[in-house]
Amino acid sequence: MQYKLTRRDHNSTPSKERHQRQKQRRMSKVKILVVGGTGYLGQHLLQAYVHANANNGTPFAFDLAFTHHSSPPPQPLLDAIPFSLPFQVDLKTGFGFEAISNTFGQPDVVVNCAAISVPRACEIDPATAHAINVPSSLVKWLQSFEKRSTLLIHLSTDQVYEGEKSFYKEEDIAVPVNVYGKTKVAAEQFISENYPNFAILRSSIIYGPQTVSPVPKSLPIQWIDGALAKGEKVEFFHDEFRCPIYVKDLVTIILTLTSQWISGTGLLVPKLMYWLDVCYAVKNFLMMLIFSDTLFKLAKFNNKIFAEILSIL
């Protein structure tokens, strides 16, 4: 059933029985929530999850939900991701999370792609940028579940660094020089201090094709292409080393993290296996980063179970 039909069912007072069946079906599947699903990365990611579902690209069947904020989810996106449930959420106030709990339940994995992601906009309104980019409402919502079993994958930026040298490493100190970077560092700190299961991905500029429902913000390749098509001269910065990442590489990393986290949570797996699975997931992910040339920045994959497994072994 496509989402559009599901929504109509809701509006026309669905039978209790059908509602129950839907709930049971959802409960049996892995639940993925993409916060900021209408943005550039969010749309690519949602389509990749749907594709993985349809083609058995992963050993799991996903139930997919996503959030939108400023306007209703665009129809081309809804058409591209049938079966997905949209929820309006405001990270600033926490509005909308309760509805997700009631309808969708606790997600197994949350990917937070929502942000004020344009540095200029952050400079104009630092308070709003801070309130949205530090996802305290999201973390508090995750804390409200009895079991802290959700993995939070959070998008950060290479703009956490000062920019005085090139090719920063994860262990370099984060010294942000703009409001955007400062909000991202604050977000990293907030998450690491308040939630046990998280991966923070410090991405550089994300490039790739336009989304199924075009995003309003300027995209790097499309901007260059447009300027060249008009025969315009393109001016580039010449005093920065950035390591852009192809959006589908970033999506692959997030899907890999998802699969590896989920594979460690099987209820029939003994507790020790669970710990080990998580460690393998982390190890494999780090190996993938080391051997990949995407120059992607992994900040942390921190889970307190590391300390536990070390003590067990």
Footprint of ligand NAP on this chain (CB under 6 A)?
Answer: 36, 38-42, 67-71, 89-92, 113-115, 117, 132, 155, 157, 203, 205-206, 215, 217
- Shortest distance, position 147 Cβ to ligand NAP, whole Å: 25
The closest of 111, 96, 123, 97 to 31, measured between CA atoms, is 111
- Shortest distance, position 297 Cβ to ligand NAP, whole Å: 9
- Shortest distance, position 152 Cβ to ligand NAP, whole Å: 13
Q: Which residues contact 267 (CB under 8 A, 6 or more apart)?
A: none
The whole-angstrom separation of Cα 152 and Cα 142 is 9
The whole-angstrom separation of Cα 90 and Cα 302 is 26
Nearer to ligand NAP, 181 or 264 (CB): 181
Tell me which residue has its CB nearest to ligand NAP: 39
- Shortest distance, position 221 Cβ to ligand NAP, whole Å: 11
Write the single-letter amino acid at 59.
Answer: P
Residue written as token pair 């209820």: 267
Q: What is the DSSP letter of 282?
A: H
Nearer to ligand NAP, 31 or 68 (CB): 68
Nearer to ligand NAP, 73 or 264 (CB): 73
Nearer to ligand NAP, 127 or 307 (CB): 127
- Shortest distance, position 44 Cβ to ligand NAP, whole Å: 8
3-state helix, strand, coil in the chain (%, to 5): 45, 15, 40
* Residues composing the chain: 313
Nearer to ligand NAP, 52 or 116 (CB): 116
